[in-house]
Structure 1
Amino acid sequence: MIPASFLAALGQMGDARFQRVLVMGVGLTVALLIGAYVLVFWGVQWLLPDSFTLPWVGEISFVDEMLSWGSVLLMMVLSIFLMVPVASAFTGIFLDDVADAVEETHYPTLPSAPRTSFADGMGEALTSLGVIVVANLAALVFYFTPLAPFVFYGLNGFLLGREYFRMIALRRLGKPGARAAFRRHIATIWAAGALMAVPLTIPLVNLFVPILGAATFVHLFHRLERQA
Structure 2
Amino acid sequence: MLNAVLTALRDIPTPPFRAVLWKSIGLTLALLAVVWIGTWAAADHFAAALPDGWRTAAEWLAGILLFVGLGFLVAPVTALFAGLYADEVAEVVERTRYSADRPGVSQPLMTGLVAALRFTGFVVLVNIAMLPLLFLPGVNVPIFLTVNAYLLGREYFEQVAMRFRPPAAARAFRSAHSGKVMLGGLTIALLLAVPIVNILTPLYATALMVHVVKLAERQERA
TM range (shorter): 0.7 to 0.9
Equivalent-residue separation in structure 1 for 2:12 and 2:198 (angstroms): 15
CA RMSD of aligned residues (A): 2.9
Equivalent-residue separation in structure 2 for 1:141 and 1:199 (angstroms): 21
Q: Answer whether contact 1:13 1:19 (CA < 8 A) is retained.
A: yes
Compute the displacement of 1:62 (Å): 4.4
Compute the displacement of 1:182 (Å): 0.9
1:156-198 CA deviation, whole Å, 9 max, x = no partner?
Answer: 2211111100010011122233112211221221232232123
User: What SS does structure 1 have at the residue aligned with 2:99?
Assistant: coil
Matched, 1:145 2:145: no
1:104-154 CA deviation, whole Å, 9 max, x = no partner?
Answer: 000001123221111111111122123323433444544443333223222
Matched, 1:135 2:91: no
- 1:154 aligned partner: 146
- 2:201 aligned partner: 209
- 2:93 aligned partner: 102
Equivalent-residue separation in structure 2 for 1:159 and 1:33 (angstroms): 25
Counterpart AA for 1:155: V
- 2:104 aligned partner: 113
Equivalent-residue separation in structure 1 for 2:55 and 2:125 (angstroms): 39
Matches within 5 A, 1:164-183: 164-183=156-175
- 1:22 aligned partner: 21
Equivalent-residue separation in structure 2 for 1:213 and 1:220 (angstroms): 10
1:219 to 211, 217, 221: 211
Runs (4+) of structure 1 moved beyond 6 Å? Answer: none
Compute the displacement of 1:35 (Å): 3.6
User: Identity over the aligned pairs, expressed in percent?
Assistant: 28
Q: Which runs of 5+ in 2 are unaligned?
A: none
Equivalent-residue separation in structure 2 for 1:63 and 1:174 (angstroms): 55
Counterpart AA for 2:205: G
Q: Which runs of 5+ in 1 are unaligned?
A: 54-58
TM-score w.r.t. length of structure 1:
0.80
Q: Answer whether contact 2:76 2:124 (CA < 8 A) is retained.
A: no
Compute the displacement of 1:14 (Å): 4.5
